[in-house]
């Protein structure tokens, strides 16, 4: 198993938690973080049924490492943005579902990292923001694209333009956050929720579902759905359907 400096891996039944482990710097996204996450997410998922991204300390991820930004050239700034885009692309391509477990807050690049996950679970007191315009700049980790896809053009424009904080409940009501949990035993509740669903339906179904949904809006999405449907029906669903009919026959007797 590879060793990483910027996050710790905690193996749980069926999946892995990646803990960002720089609480003294509020788990900011440095070039090293991007490089190590790229290394992780470009490896095969193997037996991983899920990956949870979580932060140690007071927050999930506070954003980009501003210390790296102060003296960069425009060419280097472009490289930083493109490398973050590449990382978030591979999180989307990763075979197992990726869940951002957000407590405290997710700011700027931290919010963008969460948006790139397949789902966001949050504590009731968590909040999110994109404050880049406070520094007369715009987000560089995909927020202009992902937030627009999820909220629509006008709402995304206003949210980024204003930089206002979004509470977990507001994000839940707007479909950005999928589940909200009490802060007590948060990670255990997230793991239990994922294992209860994946244990019921299995990894192959979640992999097929993720692929089809990630390709939604393209011709390839329909192809992925048909292929996944046919493969799962013939390899996994058939005995379950037979059991369903047998159970109904017993009820009718």
Q: Which residues are catalytic?
A: 64, 109, 112, 132
Residue 112: closest CA among 136, 79, 89, 135 = 89
Torsion of CA 229, 212, 195, 59, to 10 degrees: 180
On the CB side of 234, CA atoms within 13 Å amount to: 5
By three-state DSSP, how is residue 119 classified?
strand
DSSP class of residue 63? Answer: -
Rounded Cα distance, 30 and 128, in Å = 19
Rounded Cα distance, 15 and 52, in Å = 8
Q: What is the dihedral sign for C-alpha 190, 192, 197, 202?
A: positive
Kindly give, in sequence order, each residue whose CB lies less than 8 Å from that of residue 234, ignoring residues fewer than 6 positions away.
none
Alpha helix ranges (H) inside the chain: 31-41, 66-69, 74-93, 109-116, 143-151, 153-162, 168-173, 186-201, 203-214, 219-232, 238-252
Asked if residue 196 lies in contact with residue 14, where contact means CB atoms within 8 angstroms, the answer is: no
């Amino acid at each position: 198993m590879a060793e990483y400096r910027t996050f710790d891996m905690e193996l749980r039944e069926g999946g892995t938690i990646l803990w960002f482990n720089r609480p003294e710097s509020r788990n900011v996204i440095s070039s090293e973080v991007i490089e190590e996450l790229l290394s992780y997410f470009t490896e095969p998922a193997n037996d991983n049924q899920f990956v949870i991204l979580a932060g140690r300390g007071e927050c999930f991820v506070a954003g980009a490492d501003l210390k790296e930004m102060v003296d960069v050239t425009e060419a280097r700034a472009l490289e930083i943005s493109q490398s973050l885009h590449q990382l978030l692309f591979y999180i989307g391509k990763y075979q197992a579902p990726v869940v951002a477990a957000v407590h405290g807050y997710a700011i700027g690049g931290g919010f963008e990292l969460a948006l790139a996950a397949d789902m966001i679970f949050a504590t009731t007191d968590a909040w999110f923001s994109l404050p880049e315009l406070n520094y007369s700049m715009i987000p560089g980790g995909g927020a202009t694209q992902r937030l627009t896809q999820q909220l629509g053009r006008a709402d995304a424009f206003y949210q980024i333009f204003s930089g206002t904080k979004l509470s977990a409940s507001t994000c839940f009501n707007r479909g950005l956050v999928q589940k909200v949990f009490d802060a007590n035993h948060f990670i255990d509740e997230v793991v239990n929720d994922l294992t209860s669903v994946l244990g019921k339906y299995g990894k192959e179904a979640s992999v097929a579902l993720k692929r089809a949904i990630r390709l939604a809006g393209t011709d390839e999405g329909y192809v992925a759905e048909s292929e996944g449907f046919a493969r799962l029906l013939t390899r996994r669903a058939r005995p379950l359907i037979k059991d369903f009919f047998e159970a109904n026959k017993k009820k009718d007797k």
